[in-house]
Structure 1
Amino acid sequence: MSSDTHDQIPVTVLTGFLGSGKTTLLNRLVRQPAMKDALVVINEFGDIGLDHRLVAEGDEQTVVEMSSGCLCCTIRGDLSRTVQKTFDAIERAGGEPFSRVIIETTGLADPAPILQTLMTDYWLAHRLQLDGVICLVDAASGVSTLNAHRESQRQAAIADRLLITKTDLVDEARLSRLAEHLNRINPAAEQLQVRHGEVSAEQLTGGAQQRRAEQWLSAASYAQVSTAVGMAPPAAGSLISILAPTSGPSLTRHGEQIRSFCFTVEEPIAPEVLEDWLDLLMSLMGEKILRVKAIVKIAGREEPLALHGVQHIFHPPEPLPAEACSDGISRFVFITNGVAPAAVTQLFDYFQPERAI
């Protein structure tokens, strides 16, 4: 995949548990001028009820045009096939290119597979670039939903922005408890309070890649683990024990142990060390690593790289301006299910030259 992403269309994934207010939010968003020429992709089980008029209909899918000028299609099976057919239909009709894409998931869906599809599908990866993951959380039932449902935990854990909806139904004390609960799951995600779905499209979409990366990698938000290249290797046998399942209190009733932490490396990382470490990490723990974002200082390279991974799938690295890593420290943010920070640091150290000798 080319590193030139200027012509790629930004895509936002909109998630949130049942009753969190996605339909209300979408109805507000599609009427805003900033959403003109956008494509909204909804799940066929979603009760959208958007204000629209029919443009084209076929056996596989329906494409509708809304009053604001943006378009909507329904997922019927494969996401990639649905989006391709929509693009082709609009091109045949002589329509304007899409300015952005919004993908709405069902309330019971883990959004990770959608992110993986955007990264791995050849057609999508060359045309779309992930702009962010938005998760809606119901202020009235948010804490109980997060405690009771695995999907809700995962939706909140991998989000870039958390929209707290129905805030008019609860008092400040309850809002504060929910905010604290979400902060334990996903410390660096921006939290926005929303009433009646009233939020501007600009608050949810767009923004420079560097600003988004720096917000996610706000080191002060996370539990910290760090290493300096060349530190003493772990004792023999300790790696096996550190990879064992972790113990401790669970955040949910289903055994989920959502953890978030920032791993920093103080010296430039050799490219082969980075590749081998991530390959082994994903092979051993990929299903338990919900999301990874990083700004990495590579040895022998002036520009740092931005990394983004979901479980065992990584997007191709993208170069960032040198000032994104002005202190020369690489920062990795991990959102995991039951992976101890020590497992990450121990694996990294095993690939240092001193260990090989």
Structure 2
Amino acid sequence: MTAEPGADRLKLVIVGGYLGAGKSTWLRHQLYAGAFPNAHLIINEAAELAVDDAIFGARYPLTLLSGGCACCEGQAAFLTSLRQLCDDRSRAAGPQGRTSIAVLETSGLADPAAIAASLRADPMLAFHLALSEIIVLVDARNAAAQLSADPLGRAQIEAADRLVITKSDLAPPSDTARLVATLQRLNPGATITAETRGEPVPLPDATGADPLPLADHATAPIRPVQIDLPKGLDWASFAVWLSALLAAHGDDIVRVKGTVRTPAGRLLLQGIRDHVQPPEILPDSDMARDGTIVLIGREIDADRVTRSLTRFAGDLL
């Protein structure tokens, strides 16, 4: 359980959850509703190619940490950014010019408990910063597969002060009830709610529901892999190839992210396992990372995937 923050310290809220749980979408709704007024966002992505920061644009003060999770490879950069934020806050003239809250959106591979431990172990941050709350999102549609395949999902849930179930509209009520029973068993002290597209929805009655099976160990580590799209490949052709790839390897590829340029504009592409979300049109900007996608999963052979896409594109170009 996180400590009660002091009134004069910078509050930090950690928003965590497994790959594809909907952290960016949920956070965007919360910011729009005023849940974190005047927040400084810290967006952490495991891949070198960052995508989630494009969702927030330039509307919020934002620090981007890419190329490693804040709990391990990216921990040093994360702690440095927090120290800088605390230092800037101390130098600000008067309370109105001081940032009062920072919100960390973790990568889907991060363990919030390890992040909290690193904050406690840092003397400077322990004095200037207070961990206010750990919020972990849990995807009702994919939770069963995640919890049965990877102990990380359990670790994230056990670290939470508040658990938010997402996408319950895409899962049968009986499956969501089993998920609620699982969350109650893993973290009986956490508050459990459910939201769909930013709106609260009622939880199903979990009385008598059997908890979901949990993994003892992961079969292989999850890693991000970047794929460059061939020049001239149109959106429709790419969508066909991606659908075929996820249909064949959806159990190993747990997350797809990227931005691509199409005649309709810049599109944000996001997929979870074999489900590709409807693309979202983003504001136009000159970003070098357009045309590159990130596949996050187990034992992905980047060369093989690239050859497949190149061969597919060559048949159509």
Normalising to structure 2: TM-score of the pair?
A: 0.54
**AA aligned opposite 1:142:** A
Aligned counterpart, 1:148? 149
Equivalent pair of 2:161/2:191 in contact (CA under 8 Å): yes
Aligned counterpart, 2:11? 10
Q: Which runs of 5+ in 1 are unaligned?
A: 54-65, 200-249, 257-357
Report the Cα offset of residue 4 of structure 1.
Answer: 9.1
Aligned counterpart, 1:25? 26
Quote the Cα distance in structure 2 between the aligned partners of 1:4 and 1:156.
Answer: 22
Report the Cα offset of residue 87 of structure 1.
Answer: 4.5
Quote the Cα distance in structure 1 between the aligned partners of 2:28 and 2:113.
Answer: 24
Quote the Cα distance in structure 2 between the aligned partners of 1:50 and 1:198.
Answer: 19
**AA aligned opposite 1:252:** L
**AA aligned opposite 2:215:** R
Report the Cα offset of residue 15 of structure 1.
Answer: 0.7
Equivalent pair of 2:16/2:23 in contact (CA under 8 Å): yes
Quote the Cα distance in structure 2 between the aligned partners of 1:255 and 1:130.
Answer: 29
State the Cα deviation string for residues 240-291 of structure 1 (Å, max 9, x = none): xxxxxxxxxx9533259xxxxxxxxxxxxxxxxxxxxxxxxxxxxxxxxxxx
Quote the Cα distance in structure 1 between the aligned partners of 2:198 and 2:152.
Answer: 22
Quote the Cα distance in structure 1 between the aligned partners of 2:112 and 2:199.
Answer: 23
Gap change, CA 1:4 and 1:108, over 3 Å in 2: closer
Q: RMSD value over aligned CA atoms? A: 2.7
1:47 to 19, 44, 51: 51
Q: Is it true that 1:71 corresponds to 2:72 in the alignment? A: no
Gap change, CA 1:34 and 1:173, over 3 Å in 2: closer
Report the Cα offset of residue 27 of structure 1.
Answer: 1.6
Aligned counterpart, 1:252? 214
Equivalent pair of 1:136/1:164 in contact (CA under 8 Å): yes
How many residue pairs align between the two structures? 189
SS of corresponding position for 1:179: helix
Equivalent pair of 1:159/1:189 in contact (CA under 8 Å): yes
State the Cα deviation string for residues 25-63 of structure 1 (Å, max 9, x = none): 12212223342321111114453133332xxxxxxxxxx
Quote the Cα distance in structure 2 between the aligned partners of 1:170 and 1:4.
Answer: 37
Matches for 1:1-357 after TM superposition, within 5 Å:
5-45=6-46, 47-48=51-52, 49-53=54-58, 66=59, 70-75=60-65, 77=74, 78=76, 79-88=78-87, 96-198=97-199, 252-254=214-216
**AA aligned opposite 1:52:** G
Report the Cα offset of residue 90 of structure 1.
Answer: 6.8
Quote the Cα distance in structure 1 between the aligned partners of 2:119 and 2:146.
Answer: 28
Equivalent pair of 1:74/1:82 in contact (CA under 8 Å): no
Equivalent pair of 1:23/1:47 in contact (CA under 8 Å): no
**AA aligned opposite 1:98:** T
Aligned counterpart, 1:287? none
SS of corresponding position for 1:125: helix
SS of corresponding position for 1:6: coil
Q: Which runs of 5+ in 2 are unaligned?
A: 67-73, 201-211, 219-317
Report the Cα offset of residue 197 of structure 1.
Answer: 3.4
Report the Cα offset of residue 156 of structure 1.
Answer: 0.5
Report the Cα offset of residue 88 of structure 1.
Answer: 4.6
Equivalent pair of 2:10/2:86 in contact (CA under 8 Å): no
Aligned counterpart, 1:277? none
State the Cα deviation string for residues 129-150 of structure 1 (Å, max 9, x = none): 1111111110111122112111
Report the Cα offset of residue 7 of structure 1.
Answer: 0.8
State the Cα deviation string for residues 90-134 of structure 1 (Å, max 9, x = none): 777878211211112111111222101221112211111111111
Gap change, CA 1:198 and 1:96, over 3 Å in 2: farther
| Larger Rg computed on CA atoms | 1
State the Cα deviation string for residues 181-228 of structure 1 (Å, max 9, x = none): 1112112211111101346xxxxxxxxxxxxxxxxxxxxxxxxxxxxx
SS of corresponding position for 2:196: coil
Aligned counterpart, 1:246? none
Name the % identity. Answer: 31
Gap change, CA 1:193 and 1:102, over 3 Å in 2: same
SS of corresponding position for 2:32: coil
SS of corresponding position for 1:118: helix
Report the Cα offset of residue 24 of structure 1.
Answer: 0.5
SS of corresponding position for 1:37: coil
SS of corresponding position for 2:28: helix
